[in-house]
């Protein structure tokens, strides 16, 4: 405390003390991570990275500062007010990235990272910046865990993305409900938007819309389904549903995706009003909504994604199918009820699952999930259709055991188990593979314990 100068008044002293105590304040819409929150953040990064690598996603890091043009054409309509624009040299317009996806696709095109192949899987973990209206759970700088799956136009792709995200939330001990919908293709949406616009313009309905929805009615009518205002929600219940306008191809794609989720035992809710906030999606879209302690479902999504088959072409690249997801880390951490309970598990011997054929791939993914949840350190290369390449990868990562599924094994209800050190191989009944792995681990623990005892005995 500063000493009072001779002759100084009480008020002058208090004023001096206040001035000396004045410190810089954190900007609105920003968040500090310190103490337990930072431990939780590090845990989230570790889990995200490990899960992504387990599912064959390669790490990528793109600049925080990107060209404004990269986002103007591929984000929400009339959303430039959300950008943090930066003036560059010679009039160049730049922005702090509001999303990671576009930067990843730009890097994919610019660096020709796939060496002539369209297939690529990327994951990233980093900040995004949006000048959003401040609300609970919304920040102007936030962190995202992103997955981008490029070059695959199969329902298995969406099922895989949802599986990874679902596992991430499980690891973070955050209960979620998966919301799924289909936006169909461009022709589906054109017909539907025409019908939806006519519905809202009918006498008595337009006047009940909020101001934002009135403005979007002639520009982006799908956004009306995403509005959270009570009056708009009531009108939405009477509106036509997009599912009734899907083409046969889009309907079949949706059905197949949901069947995969059923087979993977992932609980989901078909939400006909889910449209996401971006204008580049087609067909499957999904979000992860938090489940509260009283089992009610919150509406502030912790993550989401979907298919965007035309985005790469709109950026000047070749027509390339793609899908992806983004998870908000700050929102997720805010939902962790016991941050001190999050601890890393120790590494164990690697079990590699190899497959050959579409049926075997699905069966292998189911087995992967079963063993992963049972605590085994499993790895795979589902992106590859070559058994030789997969086994080479198993050797490269020093897997101790490989489990191999092919067409014959699927028909026989069996699986091949190969010891990667000795090359010894045996055929097991598929349903008993977990029991066999448990038995093997127990035998090895006994051998290691006996070896330690002998070492202690003989010094």
Predicted local confidence at residue 280, as pLDDT: 87
Query: b/e per residue, 320-345, with b = 16+ CB within 10 A?
Result: bbbbbbbbbbbbbbbbbeebeebeee
Q: How many CB atoms lie within 10 A of CB 111?
A: 9
Ramachandran quadrant class, 357 (left: phi over 0; alpha: psi -120 to 50; beta: rest): left
Look at residue 113 and tell me whether its pLDDT is greater than 70: no
How far is it, in rounded angstroms, from Cα 47 to Cα 112? Answer: 29
Look at residue 139 and tell me whether its pLDDT is greater than 80: yes
Nearest in space to 85 (alpha carbons), one of 76, 72, 94, 98: 94
Confidence label for 77 from pLDDT (cuts 50, 70 and 90) = low
Each residue of 265-312: pLDDT tens digit?
999 999 998 988 767 899 999 999 999 988 888 878 999 999 999 999
Predicted local confidence at residue 306, as pLDDT: 96
Could you tell me what percentage of the chain is helix, strand and coil, using 3-state DSSP and rounding each to the nearest 5?
Answer: 45, 20, 35
Residue 139: both structure tokens together: 């920040």
Cβ neighbours for 209, distance < 8 A, ≥ 6 positions apart: 200, 217, 224, 231, 232, 235
Residue 111: both structure tokens together: 């660096």
DSSP type of residue 309? T
The domains of the chain, with CATH numbers, are 36-183+260-340 (3.30.930.10), 186-246 (no CATH), 350-453 (3.40.50.800)
Each residue of 198-215: pLDDT tens digit?
888 887 788 888 888 888
Place of tokens 């066999």: 436
Place of tokens 């985005």: 311
How far is it, in rounded angstroms, from Cα 146 to Cα 66? Answer: 17
How far is it, in rounded angstroms, from Cα 31 to Cα 328? Answer: 13
How far is it, in rounded angstroms, from Cα 242 to Cα 244? Answer: 5
Predicted local confidence at residue 5, as pLDDT: 46
Instruction: Tell me the helices (H) and strands (E) count for the chain, helix number first.
Output: 15, 16
């Amino acid at each position: 405390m500063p000493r009072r100068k001779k002759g100084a008044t009480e008020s002058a002293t208090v004023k001096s003390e206040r001035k000396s105590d004045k410190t810089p304040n954190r900007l609105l819409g920003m968040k500090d991570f310190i103490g337990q929150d930072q431990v939780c953040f590090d845990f989230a990064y570790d889990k995200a990275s490990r899960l992504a690598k387990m599912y064959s996603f390669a790490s990528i890091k793109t600049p925080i500062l990107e060209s404004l043009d990269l986002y103007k054409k591929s984000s929400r309509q009339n959303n430039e007010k959300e950008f943090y624009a930066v003036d560059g040299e010679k009039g160049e317009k730049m922005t702090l990235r509001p999303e990671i996806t576009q930067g990843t696709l730009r890097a994919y095109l610019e660096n020709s990272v796939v060496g002539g192949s369209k297939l690529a899987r990327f994951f990233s973990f980093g900040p995004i910046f949006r000048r959003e209206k401040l609300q609970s759970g919304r920040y102007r700088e936030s962190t995202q865990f992103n997955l981008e799956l490029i070059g695959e136009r199969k329902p298995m792709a969406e099922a895989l993305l949802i599986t990874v995200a679902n596992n991430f939330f499980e690891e973070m001990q955050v209960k979620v409900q998966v919301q799924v919908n289909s936006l169909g293709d461009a022709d589906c949406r054109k017909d539907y938007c025409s019908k939806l616009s006519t519905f809202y313009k009918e006498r008595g309905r337009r006047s009940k819309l909020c101001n934002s929805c009135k403005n979007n009615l002639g520009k982006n009518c799908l956004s009306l389904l995403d509005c959270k205002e009570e009056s708009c929600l009531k009108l939405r219940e009477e509106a036509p549903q997009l599912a009734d306008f899907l083409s046969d191809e889009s309907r079949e794609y949706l059905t197949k995706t949901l069947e995969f989720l059923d087979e993977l035992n992932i609980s989901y809710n078909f939400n006909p009003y889910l449209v996401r906030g971006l204008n580049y999606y087609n067909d499957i879209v999904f979000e992860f909504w938090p489940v509260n302690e009283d089992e009610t479902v919150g509406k502030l999504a912790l993550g989401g994604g979907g298919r965007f088959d035309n985005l790469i072409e709109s950026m000047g690249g070749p027509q390339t199918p793609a899908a992806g997801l983004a998870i908000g880390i700050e929102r997720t951490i805010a939902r962790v009820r016991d941050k001190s309970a999050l601890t890393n598990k120790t590494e164990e011997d690697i079990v590699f699952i190899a497959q050959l054929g579409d049926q075997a791939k699905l069966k292998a993914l189911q087995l992967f999930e079963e063993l992963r949840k049972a605590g085994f350190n499993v790895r795979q290369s589902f992106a590859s259709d070559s058994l030789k390449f997969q086994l080479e990868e198993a050797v490269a990562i020093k897997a101790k055991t490989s489990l191999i599924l092919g067409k014959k094994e699927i028909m026989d209800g069996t699986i091949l188990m190969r010891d990667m050190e000795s090359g010894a191989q045996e055929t097991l009944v598929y349903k008993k593979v977990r029991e066999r792995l448990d038995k093997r681990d127990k035998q090895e623990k006994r051998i290691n314990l006996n070896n330690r005892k002998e070492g202690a005995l003989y010094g």
